[in-house]
Structure 1
Amino acid sequence: MTAALLTAVLLTGGLALAPGAAGAQSAVDPAAATTPVRVNQAGYLPDGPKRATIVTAASEPLNWQLRSASGATAASGRTVVHGTDAASGEATHVADFSAFRKTGAGFVLVVGGWSSAPFDIRANLYDTLRTESLAFFYHQRSGTPIEASLVGPSYARPAGHLGVAPNQGDTSVPCQAGVCDYTQDVRGGWYDAGDHGKYVVNGGISVWTLVDSFARAKRAGTASALGDSTLRIPERGNGVPDILDEARWELDFLMRMQVPEGRPYAGMAFHKIHDAAWTGIPTRPELDPQPRELHRPSTAATLNLAATAAQCARVFRPYDSAYAKRCLSVARTAWTAAQANPALYAPDSDSTGGGPYNDTQVTDDFYWAAAELYAATGERAYRDAVTSSPWHTSADALTATGFNWADTAALGRLTLATVPNGLPTADIRRVRASVTAAADGHLATMAGQGYAVPIPANGYVWGSNSQVTNNAIVVATAYALTGQQRYRAAVLESMDYLLGRNTLDLSYVTGYGDTYARNQHHRFWAHQYDASLPNPPAGSLAGGPNSGLQDPVAQEHLAGCAPAACYIDDIGSYSTNEVTINWNAPLAWLAAFASERRHG
């Protein structure tokens, strides 16, 4: 569930929980940070920034020591007094030990008698996170068994939603009443989040991010790390880069959501498919008994299909030309259908059994789709659609709070900035300058904070960790355009925040760090409510602090929290602690970037 589900929660009184859930395993106390010395608990790269935040009201700099696992002092220095961090309300100092470039495990930073969590310094720090953050998507696949040989027995499960009892879909799904009078095969794809819904607008930004990650790595000459047989998925060894195989699982589903020729709204995409009523937690996918329904086509969903299918045509072409050709045909059809129906919006009231994902501004989606079609074809009609869009020159395409499924102009801007195209030289220069200017804004934001987070103090909203990661993608793109190391350093410091250098002294990524999120909101990874079920697998990113407190658990435990502290590791806190495909996708993008050794 993402922010789009807020309306549904308010209308339904929240999601059904397992009987006795209130007395289940307790959550981590959100205020129970173990030390005032906050570090990236996974560690640091030898050639990257190494900074820590110390919570202290001391008015003068303090001595710090970096100690090895044996207790020997490896480096020392003095903190810099930062002052009050607006998002956390804490008085902070910063210790910078970037000059230390030796490797090892079990380092601790000692300041004023306090020790940090232990951490490593090593060049391969992010290699495992690169693969495990991508493995999240195989775990989330619908319509196929999740094999024990690939994920281990705890995470293996039968295929969900293939029409095998008690499932009622997704191979022949009817529409909501009044939407259509036929059924459609919409099997496959990824479950969106902790529920079993599949939403085109959230699938669109997620699959775009994975494919863009590969395209970026290919431009950088580092795509082999994302190539064939790099992931534990059934398609490994087929000659196609594994990240593209994973993306194809979702792309195939998105194309199945296109309305067939000869039907009303032909060429458009159904907005979503999910259960007719909310299911409780836990509910294993293959045991979900709810009827499934297709929801009315929307312009936004159709443009997501057009954009991602066009990107598919461009990036898949060297590996599967027939598939790329099919993607381009789907993209063209979707674009034409969206032009014919430019204002068909998903209603915000359509929130029973799944989130509404309503969005009444789709000019940004038109811009994104046009940019992708132009990058794929070079055709004048799509170029004209790009250059005539108000988003093409708007600074609002890249904002301080970041892009998301409802605000997609940034995706078109990033594609035009990085993919060779026929725009005039001056136009390309302006587009690229807008990316570096946005990145500079994020760096300025980070410099003003005690924890160096690339979102402002008012940016701690539902899914704030995805705002962090998406802004870091903009910064990483600025690095690709300029080669300036300050951008790379800012990306790595964004990872520091996610992995423990934050007000909660907590890693938001399961399995990484000394203390990490482990009770994210999910119907199968529901160990907190059912000990026979697993916690989320390693590499799963929690949504993060959300000052809106839009669930009962958050409201009970977090009243009065500072924005950056509005998080609780409890399965019931869907507004702070869910997992979703569009949050893990940018984490995987950044992990691939951070794992690269070629940053001369």
Structure 2
Amino acid sequence: MKNHYLNVSVCALITLLFAACAKINPPVNELYRFNQLGFYPSEEKIAVLDTVVSGPFYIKELNSGKVVYEGLVSQPRLSAFSEKETVVIPFSQLRTKGTYFIEIPEVGKSLPFEIKDSLFSSLSKASLKAFYLQRSGTAIEAEFAGKWERPAGHPDTLVRIHPSAATAVRPAESLISSPKGWYDAGDYNKYIVNSGFTVGILLSLYEDYPQYAQSVSVQIPESANQTPDLLDEIWWNLEWMLSMQDPSDGGVYHKLTTPSFEGMIKPTECKQPRYVIEKSVTATLDFAASMAQASRVFAPFEKDYPEVSQKMLQASIRAFNWALQHPDALYNQRKMNANFKPAVSTGGYEDRSATDEFFWAATELYITTGNDKYTSYVKEYLPESFILPVWGNVSGLAQMSLIRHRDKLEKEMGSLSDSAGKQLINYADSCLAGVELAPYAAAYGRSSKDFFWGCNSDKASNQGIAFLYAYRLTNDRRYLTNALHSMDYLLGRNATGYCYVTGFGHKSPLNPHHRLAASDGIDEPLPGFLVGGPNPGKQDGCEYPSLVPDEAYIDILPSYASNEIAINWQGMFTYYVMALDATLRDIK
């Protein structure tokens, strides 16, 4: 009997000891959501708990376990499209740099996070370096890419003219050379519509933050020259784009592609013939716009790029004139396949209208040349409200250029610039209505309509850029703060708990839909790429863990609808993170 009581006492003592240890060193709970890169000392610091509790929370130093800040969690916040509730954990008053974790007694502790300066410096460089890793037609060297080196693939020096693109001068199956450029996305093809858009947003980054861009080196083969790495990388794609213009008439081929997508194989293993496909008005105008913008940006760098500025301007003017003569030449892949062989099933980048492309091209040509003949087209196609720029509607790129050059524009065009600025601020204000009740403390992600194919770029990053423009126009800190909050969302403070950029954070995509990454034999994905994000449309047919809009994401290779990478998404994200880095790095 004594032994029985002794055993009971020992068990009780062990239970108490375990309970005491749990209080001293509680388990990590992954329900904490926060920016996995950390926080700036002087900016707002918010975490979210993906469940409901009440009462105090504690911020503790990682090494000592010392409490450095305590506060109360918010009242529960309800999702607008699910039954999920969250609570917000605010600790903006903690400004001391260091490594910390959050602890709520009944929940456990979070993974560690940092408070530090230059928070986005490494991410900014990686987002730009991703374009080097995406280059076509060249060896990616170990000196610049480390273990992600690879031999050259797709030289594209013997590209066939597709029957849809044939002319008397360039008959079907004749050969042209069209090397370089970036692979478009998870596939190995190259598309002018998406390339023009991507180049446009990256050139806008340079025009908006020139001093910052000139200071950033990402170690690419051209880094030793006198031109900023951002522009060197853009030129790799611009040079390919120039080869896609038909020298006989100025029109631009819609894309360079294989008839069907290659498998998940290395570039050197690809065997399908590659074609340039028929000219389209949208491709030609996107080409015209980006070339006009590039012409003025590259003008100061004649030493490294002699005569390039003038060459691009002339190419732009010829393309615009072709578009005026062929305003209805919209690309329709189904119709093309009915008339020409081989049939093509790769990305269509189709559009129902070219009015936004005319607006963008005319705007860039006017800003570069000052020629009044483009003014009428700008006026004709000026939208009534600000539209977030995406490849399918590029009006926002034109509006951003009008805003950017407002001090240089005269009279009528100056008035249009003022109008574009007011439209953008109205848009930003509409996004902030009710933001104080957002479940993840961000303007983005409060509506089910925020989640679709490519939403991490086309809505979250895009909206963040709009906030940054509004901040530059007004100097109102609300816009900058909310631009940072949307980035917090992308980097971990969201319903899935993912940092949506490969190679960053404690939970990031490992299996993106990306042929280069899938075929290289390396466990880790190529770093610095933003993936598409939650997409309840699940056009890929994969089984997602949830169809709740902000949870409809799966990190598997086949999920091109939620887990692919793409240069247009990467371009938007690169602008976004670099602009934040440039804006916040000097704020104390």
TM-score class, shorter-chain normalisation, is 0.7 to 0.9
| Deviations 1:121-154, CA, capped at 9 Å, x for gaps | 11111100111010110011011110011101x3
| Match in the other structure for 1:581 | 567
| Correspondence for 1:52 among 47, 50, 66 | 47
Q: Given the alignment of the two structures, is residue 76 of structure 1 paired with residue 91 of structure 2, yes or no?
A: no
Q: How has the CA–CA distance of structure 1 residues 140 and 423 changed in structure 2, closer, same or farther, with 3 Å as cutoff?
A: farther
| Match in the other structure for 1:233 | 220
SS at match of 2:518: coil
SS at match of 1:508: coil
Trace 1:518-557 onto structure 2 (pairs within 5 A). Answer: 518-526=510-518, 532-553=521-542, 556-557=543-544
Q: Which has the higher contact order (CA 8 A, sep 6+)?
A: 1
Q: Given the alignment of the two structures, is residue 156 of structure 1 paired with residue 141 of structure 2, yes or no?
A: no
| Match in the other structure for 2:307 | 322
| Correspondence for 2:263 among 276, 280, 283 | 280
Q: How has the CA–CA distance of structure 1 residues 298 and 494 changed in structure 2, closer, same or farther, with 3 Å as cutoff?
A: same
Taking the aligned partners of 1:344 and 1:542, their CA distance within structure 2 comes to: 32
Taking the aligned partners of 1:338 and 1:111, their CA distance within structure 2 comes to: 65
SS at match of 2:148: coil
**Gaps (5+ residues) in structure 2?**
1-27, 338-342
Shift of 1:307: 0.6
Taking the aligned partners of 1:331 and 1:430, their CA distance within structure 2 comes to: 26
Q: How has the CA–CA distance of structure 1 residues 109 and 483 changed in structure 2, closer, same or farther, with 3 Å as cutoff?
A: farther
Q: How has the CA–CA distance of structure 1 residues 239 and 122 changed in structure 2, closer, same or farther, with 3 Å as cutoff?
A: same
Q: Given the alignment of the two structures, is residue 572 of structure 1 paired with residue 558 of structure 2, yes or no?
A: yes
Shift of 1:110: 3.9
| Deviations 1:263-289, CA, capped at 9 Å, x for gaps | xxx2111001111222111x1112211
Shift of 1:535: 3.1
Amino acid at match of 1:161: H
Taking the aligned partners of 2:372 and 2:136, their CA distance within structure 1 comes to: 38
| Correspondence for 1:474 among 458, 466, 469 | 466
| Match in the other structure for 1:379 | 371
| Correspondence for 2:241 among 247, 254, 265 | 254
| Match in the other structure for 2:32 | 37
| Deviations 1:342-373, CA, capped at 9 Å, x for gaps | 11111142683511111111101110111111
| Match in the other structure for 2:328 | 343
Q: How has the CA–CA distance of structure 1 residues 426 and 357 changed in structure 2, closer, same or farther, with 3 Å as cutoff?
A: closer
Taking the aligned partners of 1:268 and 1:111, their CA distance within structure 2 comes to: 66
| Match in the other structure for 1:334 | 319
CA contact (8 A) 2:37 2:114 kept: yes
| Match in the other structure for 2:23 | none
| Match in the other structure for 2:200 | 208
Amino acid at match of 1:279: E
| Correspondence for 1:223 among 198, 213, 220 | 213
Q: Given the alignment of the two structures, is residue 267 of structure 1 paired with residue 250 of structure 2, yes or no?
A: yes
Q: Given the alignment of the two structures, is residue 457 of structure 1 paired with residue 443 of structure 2, yes or no?
A: no
Shift of 1:69: 0.9
Shift of 1:199: 0.6
Amino acid at match of 1:64: F
| Match in the other structure for 1:124 | 118
Q: Given the alignment of the two structures, is residue 432 of structure 1 paired with residue 415 of structure 2, yes or no?
A: no
Q: How has the CA–CA distance of structure 1 residues 89 and 374 changed in structure 2, closer, same or farther, with 3 Å as cutoff?
A: farther
| Deviations 1:215-241, CA, capped at 9 Å, x for gaps | 1112xx433333xxx011111111001
CA contact (8 A) 2:29 2:109 kept: no
| Correspondence for 1:297 among 276, 279, 299 | 279
Taking the aligned partners of 2:162 and 2:92, their CA distance within structure 1 comes to: 57
Amino acid at match of 1:292: R
Amino acid at match of 2:384: S
CA contact (8 A) 1:118 1:514 kept: no
| Correspondence for 1:99 among 93, 97, 109 | 93
Q: How has the CA–CA distance of structure 1 residues 139 and 76 changed in structure 2, closer, same or farther, with 3 Å as cutoff?
A: same
CA contact (8 A) 1:524 1:534 kept: no
Taking the aligned partners of 1:491 and 1:514, their CA distance within structure 2 comes to: 22
CA contact (8 A) 1:465 1:544 kept: yes
| Match in the other structure for 1:30 | none
Taking the aligned partners of 1:144 and 1:546, their CA distance within structure 2 comes to: 34
Q: Which moved more, 1:429-438 or 1:138-147?
A: 429-438
Taking the aligned partners of 1:422 and 1:322, their CA distance within structure 2 comes to: 28
SS at match of 1:315: helix
| Deviations 1:266-322, CA, capped at 9 Å, x for gaps | 2111001111222111x1112211111111111000011001001101111111262
Higher helix proportion (structure 1 or 2): 2
| Match in the other structure for 2:131 | 137
SS at match of 2:439: coil
Q: How has the CA–CA distance of structure 1 residues 206 and 423 changed in structure 2, closer, same or farther, with 3 Å as cutoff?
A: farther
Amino acid at match of 2:316: A
Shift of 1:109: 5.3
| Deviations 1:437-486, CA, capped at 9 Å, x for gaps | 11122223644421214253212110110121111111111111122211
Taking the aligned partners of 2:73 and 2:239, their CA distance within structure 1 comes to: 53
Amino acid at match of 1:123: D
CA contact (8 A) 1:189 1:249 kept: yes
Shift of 1:106: 4.2
Amino acid at match of 1:345: L
Taking the aligned partners of 2:511 and 2:202, their CA distance within structure 1 comes to: 25
Taking the aligned partners of 1:88 and 1:43, their CA distance within structure 2 comes to: 28
| Match in the other structure for 1:63 | 56
| Match in the other structure for 2:392 | 406
| Deviations 1:524-550, CA, capped at 9 Å, x for gaps | 2017xx7x2453222111110001011
| Match in the other structure for 2:185 | 193
Taking the aligned partners of 1:97 and 1:439, their CA distance within structure 2 comes to: 26
SS at match of 2:309: helix
CA contact (8 A) 2:215 2:228 kept: no
Amino acid at match of 1:344: A
| Match in the other structure for 1:590 | 576
Amino acid at match of 1:39: F
Taking the aligned partners of 2:465 and 2:69, their CA distance within structure 1 comes to: 32
CA contact (8 A) 1:88 1:565 kept: no
Q: How has the CA–CA distance of structure 1 residues 178 and 499 changed in structure 2, closer, same or farther, with 3 Å as cutoff?
A: closer
**Gaps (5+ residues) in structure 1?**
1-32, 163-169
RMSD of aligned alpha carbons: 1.9
Q: Which moved more, 1:429-438 or 1:439-448?
A: 439-448
SS at match of 2:163: coil
Taking the aligned partners of 2:434 and 2:82, their CA distance within structure 1 comes to: 14
SS at match of 2:75: strand
| Match in the other structure for 1:307 | 289
Q: Which moved more, 1:92-101 or 1:493-502?
A: 92-101
CA contact (8 A) 2:165 2:253 kept: no
CA contact (8 A) 1:193 1:580 kept: yes
Q: Whose radius of gyration is greater, 1 or 2? A: 2
Taking the aligned partners of 2:567 and 2:103, their CA distance within structure 1 comes to: 34
Q: How has the CA–CA distance of structure 1 residues 340 and 505 changed in structure 2, closer, same or farther, with 3 Å as cutoff?
A: same
Amino acid at match of 1:438: Y
CA contact (8 A) 1:37 1:111 kept: no
Taking the aligned partners of 1:34 and 1:203, their CA distance within structure 2 comes to: 42
Aligned residues with identical type, % of pairs: 34
